[in-house]
Amino acid sequence: MGFAYTDLSVDRDDLRDDVLTGLASSPKSIPPKYFYDDAGCRLFEAICAQPEYAVCRTEQSLMAAHLPEIAAAIGAVEGIVEPGAGDCVKVRRLLDALQPTHLVVMDIAGAPLAAAAEPLARDYPALAVTALGMDFIHDLDAATPYLPAGRRLVYYPGSSIGNFAPDAAAALLARFRQLAGAHGQLLIGFDLKKDPQRLHAAYNDAAGVTAAFNLNLLARLNRELGADFDPARFRHYAFYNPVAGRIEMHLVSLAEQDVNIAGQRVHFALGETLHTEHSYKFRGDEFSAIAHTAGWSLAGEWLHDGFAVQLYRGSR
């Protein structure tokens, strides 16, 4: 049925505003969505191939093993909506099983998304594919005119929900509830709490790919905001915080230094960190309680090797 791409972020200058706001805060932080320039997208794909980082492989093994029961629990849908679709690989299993007529994918990295989504229209001739280059975290309402009519499934795999603190996760799930529509559903994957050493290893792979991914953020700021970060003066640092139930990822300043960025000077003390990401891990009951506050009712759960996929329907 064809392919269409729309860039909904062309006039926005969120990168500059978000970065300067984050660098002025204490502790300093930058939203993890800015990892995903072209180089960042390639590095994240490489992270998923590292032996220590099993999230992607485990989720796909789970989906392959349980797809018939997951599809039966979902039932017939006219459209699938996938925020943060990235390389558009994971949704293919659902397209095969559910055979919807419409697919809407969104990602802040618009050009890589379009390149990944267009082949879907060729591989599924009966499917109308719409790709939206957008910051769906802030601008989800902008997707409304592009949503298919009928029964919709919102698909949010990969434990991306872990990048949000519980209150922010609940707020995003509430917006997904609106995105799904009156009779919509949500299929979501998330990483479970497990041995802290296993979690630590996943974000400190021996090949240094996650470190390169983290440091690539500085290269992007140098290129797009005229900054003068010296990546050699920062060190990737990631650890599991068992009290908060989350991985924390930082860039640690190895010296007392000043950095110029977007016409402003920012001071880093020796040992000061720039917080670039957190990744919450959940128990199944913890996550379903968060989803319930957002208007979702648990309709199914599948588990495999420390990972969960849950299906929700609207509870109100």
Chain centroid offset of residue 252 CA: 23
Is residue 295 within 8 A of residue 185, CB to CB? The reply is: no
Distance, in Å, from the CA atom of 177 to the CA atom of 154, rounded to the nearest integer, reads 9
The residues, any chain, with a CB within 8 Å of residue 131's CB and separated by 6 or more, are 3, 4, 5, 6, 85, 104, 105, 106, 107, 110, 113, 114, 117, 118
The average pLDDT across 233-252 equals 97
- Percent of the chain past pLDDT 70, that is, above it, reads 98
Q: How many CB atoms lie within 10 A of CB 21?
A: 12
* pLDDT tens for each residue of 104-157: 999 988 889 999 999 999 999 999 999 999 988 888 888 999 999 899 999 999
Q: Where are the domains of the chain?
A: 12-45+210-280
| pLDDT of 171 over the 80 cut | yes
Q: Which of 303, 269, 266, 278 is nearest to 288 (CA)?
A: 303
Distance, in Å, from the CA atom of 17 to the CA atom of 32, rounded to the nearest integer, reads 14
Per the listing, tokens 């659902």 go with 94
* pLDDT tens for each residue of 8-19: 874 445 889 999
The average pLDDT across 208-227 equals 97
Query: pLDDT band at 77, cuts 50/70/90?
Result: very high
SS3 for 110-178 is HHHHHHHHHHHHHHCCCCEEEEEECCHHHHHHHHHHHCCCCCEEEEECCCHHHHCCHHHHHHHHHHHHH
The average pLDDT across 55-77 equals 97
Distance, in Å, from the CA atom of 29 to the CA atom of 214, rounded to the nearest integer, reads 13
- Percent of the chain past pLDDT 90, that is, above it, reads 89
Tell me the pairing of strands 152-156 and 185-191: parallel
The amino acid that residue 287 corresponds to is F
Reduced to 3 states (helix: H, G, I; strand: E, B; else coil), residue 211 is helix
Q: Which of 106, 109, 76 is nearest to 91 (CA)?
A: 106
State the pLDDT at residue 137: 86
Tell me the pairing of strands 273-280 and 28-29: parallel
Reduced to 3 states (helix: H, G, I; strand: E, B; else coil), residue 263 is coil
pLDDT: which is higher, 316 or 264: 264
The average pLDDT across 2-25 equals 85
| pLDDT of 315 over the 80 cut | no
The amino acid that residue 130 corresponds to is T
State the pLDDT at residue 11: 46
Distance, in Å, from the CA atom of 185 to the CA atom of 74, rounded to the nearest integer, reads 8
Q: Mark out the alpha helices in the chain (DSSP H runs).
A: 14-24, 38-48, 55-74, 91-98, 110-123, 136-139, 166-180, 196-202, 209-225, 284-293
Q: Which of 96, 97, 74 is nearest to 152 (CA)?
A: 74
Whether pTM > 0.85 for this model: the answer is: yes
Q: How many residues make up the chain in this entry?
A: 316
Is residue 312 within 8 A of residue 296, CB to CB? The reply is: yes
